[in-house]
Chains A and B, each alone.
Chain A
Amino acid sequence: MSEDALLGTFEEQVMLAVVHAGADAFGMSVRREIESRTGRDVAIGAVYATLDRLEAKRLISSTRPRTGGASRRIFRITAVGSRALVATRAMRDGLWRGIDLARLA
């Protein structure tokens, strides 16, 4: 995976939700983050499928801590993932630069 791999829109949303959820990033909390921040209803299956793909690309990693209560698959963003987020943001900014929002609206 090249370092400046860019993320798809939904991948970007899931990655950012993982970051927002912090230490408590499991499937359902990621889904809720997306929902609360975008206002869109997201299917849990789509979230898991994307998380799997992101993990396969080594953009996030998952562990299953065995510490009391329900054992959940917890996601964390990797260094590769961070760089991908930064690169995606940079690309987006570059594209938006110089565009007058007032005239678009």
Chain B
Amino acid sequence: MQPPRIPTALLRVLLPDAEQVEVLDDLAAEYRERASVSGAFRARVWYWRQVTASVPSLLSRTLWRGRTGFEPRASGMQTGGPAAEQWIMDARHAVRRLIRRPRYAILAILTLALGIGGSAAVFGIARAIFFAPLPYSAPESIGLFSAPFGWSMQEFAFLRGHVPGFSQVAQYRFTDATLELGDSPSQLVGYTAASSELFDVLGARPALGRTFESRDEAIGAEAVAVINYSLYEQLGGTPAVLGTRIRFNGAPTTVIGVMPRGFFFPRPTIRVWVPQQLDPENTTGNYALVGRAEPGMQIDRMAPQLARFGEMMRQRFTYTPQWDKTKGMWVKSIRDAIAEPMRPTLVAVMAAMAMILLIACVNVASLMLGQVEGRAAELAVRAALGASRMRLARQLVAESVVLGVVAGIAGAAIAKVGFNWLVSALPLGAFAETATFDWRVFSAAMVVALATALAISLVPTLSLWRGRLSGSLGATRTQGVAGRGVRLESFLVVAEVSVAVLMVAGAGLIVRSVQKLYEIDPGVRVEGVGVVNVVLPSDLTDMQRRIAFDQIVAGVRTIPGVQSAGMTQRLPLRGNAWTSGLTIEGKPEVARQSTTIRLVSPDYLKTMGIRVKAGRALQERDIAQSAADTAGGVVVINEAFAKKYFGSENPIGRRITSGFSDKMARIVGVVNDVTESDLTEAPQPTRYSPYTTWNVTMPGQSIVFRVNAGRDPVGSLEDARSVIRRISPRAAIQDATTMERILAIAVGPARQALTLMSLLTGLALLLGAIGIYGVMSHFVSRRKRDWGIRIALGLSPARVLGGVVGRGTSLVAMGIVIGLGAFAVLSKFLEALMYGVGRGDPYVLAAAIGGLLMVGVAASLIPAWRASGTDPAVVLREQ
């Protein structure tokens, strides 16, 4: 009759081996006795009570034994066997050893802490960006529409509520506007103007107040705004914010609602949402659509519905072939639309994180290996006295666990600091609101630290297991050069360097790509250029609008600090340029082609910094001449146009259609190419015509102005606004931003990865340097005796220095070769983030090789210098 099993097992864990048999046997004997006297049930109750009452005292005894190292005399020379107390003792031993070797301990802890802390900080950010659920209800049935051109208010008024397959569709556009808070200078904030159903489509509820209602979009309705959480906090963070007025986009605007922490749409940098006042007669506008699919519909299977939608639009509106927005229309789920552009960045950052951690591990492993080698004599003596390999291995594991715990705590501190820094340094927008450094990130860091520590201890344990301990007792006396573990240690350095090369080269590709993107001449000088988009009321006649815009441009020009001002109907770098048909006098073959057209005021070219390559720019008299509609006007073309249609001929003086009528215009100048949307696209042939060429004046125009060198154009945006308000009080200012911001958006997703990747690369280089330093300094100290003898025999210190540095460098060189091999294979995963650089870009490879070599040489210099200073007398006496 056996006692119950569970309490027996519990006792087995808590008792040292030496006491297990007697205690369990005696308890079992008494259990049987009690069972026969008072029955099995009572015996069981007794047994259970015995064990449960014993647990606290046995646990505290284990801790006490571990702390004091108490071992009963009855155990003789043997220890009581494995219970937790052994681990506690080993841990204490490890702590004492680490305290005695502060340099090693600090190096190992710092390395692990940097690796763990760095990756935990990045993980905290990555979690907020990539893994946080989208702040919309049932996001899988929300679709973003994409069409070659945006939709006008008139089109939206028609399609509203009638898009097949969708229960609701909202229109929106997002851009920048100025916001004035208190006395601080006005700042640019991103905002979205949308139709009233936007928040219903997204299924998002405000944290405070309300969202839009249909009355908000009536013409002349009071200006209201829903703000995001960070702006709410900036405004005081109390519900009293509701109903207050902020000066937004130059007009007093009432705050009606606050969105919850982490809400964003469509970009995380958007901070304000305003209802778009809807004029169903307005044929302008450039709106995107977002819709919620009807129940049961799947966003990625809506081609038939889209075709019906296109048909519906074509029946109501007439689209010329090149303006047909119903062709090439598609719908993408909001998750794909938001997550897809981030994916390559995610992969790159995650891979970099893993590599950092790997480098840190290899570092510490090689440091520990060095320690085991240094302890060879001690370990051999222990083994000779009867310590089992298991026991010795356990000490190593205990040591790395202690390192892991301390590094985990230090790493958490580093992670916290790093995380806060990253949150403030990166343009996270709404993601910063939900990015929190909580216990989960902390415990993830701890788990990683411990797992890492255990993995690391495998390396020296393995080396211990494979070696002959007794043999090393003899070898260590003479500090043999060909000591065991040298190969493993060198292997670790090589491995570490190759991972570092992989990483530096990978990051190098991203840095170069971004650099190349910025290097692309967008054709305009963006610095110092402010942009204001103005929409005049649509009830004005074309002539009234033309006069108003003339006055606005002239007025902006007189703002103090403004050098020049111009106007166009559509800015470059933002895509959606207008194109129109083209004919060239004397070249009938180009008929029916279409190219980009841009209607500009004369100073537009000068303001944007577009250079005249041949002929002349547009002048004031061209405006009047075009308006007079006499013998046709003049036109300026860009180089791409000249190259495509005139080749080697001189285009100046040739006549082409301006694109708005059959009226011919004379080419008077050629200017440089300007990027239309994607920086990586080939330049588009473009015509610049005086804005008076077309007798229609679009109600929406972009006013651009250049400020004097050294001034910030943001500071003049308010002045520009008051000029516009004075001239046309009913004008709507949709957009107030700078060309620099427009360019930054055009550069795209690789830019986001840049900061994180350069940070991680710096960390990788630092860790690599620490690793090489650790191994080289161990290499040197183990050969102290050799150096001593050689120096005594007349070897010059310079050659000692050369020898050590040479060895370090050769290891690094080997690592570089292997790392480049791996890079050749793995770099294809980076292609999505690459632009304008090949995978074998010589600059990147040279930087990676040069950087690592430099780190290798620098890291071996200190130990080498120490070796060259070896005093033979001292060394030989010591040993």
Q: Could you list which residues of chain A lie within 8 angstroms of chain B, going by C-beta atoms?
A: 26-28, 32, 41, 43-46, 48-50, 52-53, 55-56, 61-64, 70-74
Contact = CB atoms under 8 A, between A and B. Distances in A.
Contact of B53 (A43, A64, A71, A74): A43
Contact of A44 (B54, B60, B65, B74): B54
A71 B51 CA distance: 22
Given A27-B22, A28-B26, A52 B73 contact: no
A57 B331 CA distance: 81
A32 to B, nearest CB: 8
A32 B53 CA distance: 16
B72 A52 contact: yes
Given A27-B26, A55-B72, 13 more contacts: A27-B19, A28-B23, A28-B30, A45-B14, A45-B54, A48-B19, A48-B23, A48-B58, A48-B61, A52-B61, A55-B73, A62-B73, A70-B21
Contact of B25 (A49, A55, A70, A73): A70
Contacts of A41: 46, 49
- Which of A44, A52, A56 neighbours the largest number of chain B CB atoms within 10 Å of its CB? A44
Interface residues of B, number: 31
B57 A27 contact: no
23 contacts: A27-B26, A28-B22, A44-B27, A45-B51, A45-B56, A45-B57, A46-B54, A48-B23, A48-B57, A48-B61, A49-B58, A52-B70, A53-B64, A55-B73, A61-B73, A62-B72, A62-B73, A64-B74, A70-B25, A71-B22, A73-B18, A73-B19, A73-B74
B27 A28 contact: yes
B420 to A, nearest CB: 47
A44 B23 contact: yes
B54 A43 contact: yes
Interface in B56-84: 56-58, 60-61, 64-65, 68, 70, 72-76
Contacts of A55: 70, 72-73
A37 B57 CA distance: 22
Contacts, number: 80
Interface in B39-61: 46, 49-51, 53-58, 60-61
Nearest to A64: B74
B58 to A, nearest CB: 4
Contacts of B74: 62-64, 73-74
B76 A64 contact: yes
A32 B30 CA distance: 10
- Which of B14, B46, B53, B75 neighbours the largest number of chain A CB atoms within 10 Å of its CB? B53
Contacts of A71: 21-22
Contacts of A28: 22-23, 26-27, 30
B50 A26 contact: no
| Majority DSSP secondary structure for residues of B touching A | helix
Contacts of B56: 45
Contacts of B23: 27-28, 44, 48
- Which of B65, B70, B72 neighbours the largest number of chain A CB atoms within 10 Å of its CB? B72
A56 B70 contact: yes
A46 B22 contact: no
- Which of A41, A53, A62, A73 neighbours the largest number of chain B CB atoms within 10 Å of its CB? A73
Per CB-CB distance, the 3 closest pairs between chain A and chain B, nearest first, are A45-B54, A43-B53, A28-B26
Contact of B60 (A27, A43, A49, A64): A49
Given A28-B30, A70-B21, A73-B22, A45 B55 contact: yes
B22 A56 contact: no
A63 B73 contact: yes
Contacts of A27: 19, 22-23, 26
Nearest to A66: B76
Interface in B17-36: 18-19, 21-23, 25-27, 30
B54 A73 contact: no
Interface string B841-878: 00000000000000000000000000000000000000
Contacts of A49: 57-58, 60-61, 64
A76 B18 CA distance: 18
A27 B21 CA distance: 12
A71 to B, nearest CB: 7
A15 B301 CA distance: 84
A32 B34 CA distance: 13
Contacts of A74: 74
Contacts of B18: 64, 73
Contacts of A53: 64
A39 to B, nearest CB: 15
Contacts of B68: 56
Nearest to A55: B72
Nearest to B60: A49
Given A27-B22, A45-B14, A73 B57 contact: no
Contacts of B30: 28, 32
Interface string B526-542: 00000000000000000
B50 A43 contact: yes
Nearest to B78: A64
Contacts of B46: 41
A48 B50 CA distance: 12
Interface in B218-277: none
A63 B74 CA distance: 4
Contact of A73 (B49, B51, B53, B72): B72
A53 B65 CA distance: 9
Nearest to B65: A52
